[in-house]
Amino acid sequence: MISADFTPLAGLAGGVLIGLASAALMLANGRVAGVSGILGGSLRPGPGDLGWRVTFLVGLPLGAGVVHAFDPAGHGFAITSQLGVLVAGGLLVGFGTQLGSGCTSGHGVCGLARGSPRSLAATATFMLTAAVTVFVVRHLLGGS
């Protein structure tokens, strides 16, 4: 059964925009659009490297804000207001991106598009971990 929240055109449009943005960054700068790598590199930038990194990072929440302005109910998730959960989640993501030598955007979007076997293994690991996490939280811990 297909959910009433299933919006294939919005998903297709988002995927196309992500793909175009990733390709544009690769063509313009020769860089992979891996968000954690871009963030990490902005903390210790090389010469002439900070401007594009900050622009990219500022554009992420601004783009979400523009979408939200046009469609306030257009997403189906909420971010917790519990500071400890946010900090723990951020630290775990940072640890995972160091452990996996990249993040979901770098491996899943750019690495797979380049046919990288390492990115295929990393993305399969991300997806399997996500599925197990959802199962544990929803079915074993009773969360939503």
Q: Is residue 31 part of a domain?
A: yes
pLDDT tens string 71-85: 777 666 677 678 888
**pTM score:** 0.72
Instruction: Give the mean model confidence (pLDDT) for residues 60-68.
Output: 85
pLDDT at 108 over 90: no
**Which band of pLDDT confidence, cut at 50, 70 and 90, is reported for residue 55?**
very high
Q: Which domain holds residue 37?
A: 8-140
The answer to whether position 124 is within a domain reads yes
Q: Is residue 48 part of a domain?
A: yes
pLDDT at 77: 64
Q: Which residues contact 119 (CB under 8 A, 6 or more apart)?
A: 102, 106, 107, 108, 110, 111, 112
pLDDT (average), residues 35-55: 88
- Residue 125 located in a structural domain: yes
**14 inside domain:** yes
Q: How far apart are the first and last CA of the chain?
A: 20
Picking from 95, 93, 96, 122, the residue whose alpha carbon sits closest to that of residue 107 is 122
Give the tens place of pLDDT for each residue, 16-34: 988 898 899 889 888 888 8
Total number of domains in the chain = 1
pLDDT of residue 138: 87
Q: Is residue 2 part of a domain?
A: no
Asked, for residue 67, whether it belongs to a domain, the answer is: yes
Query: Does any domain span residue 3?
Result: no
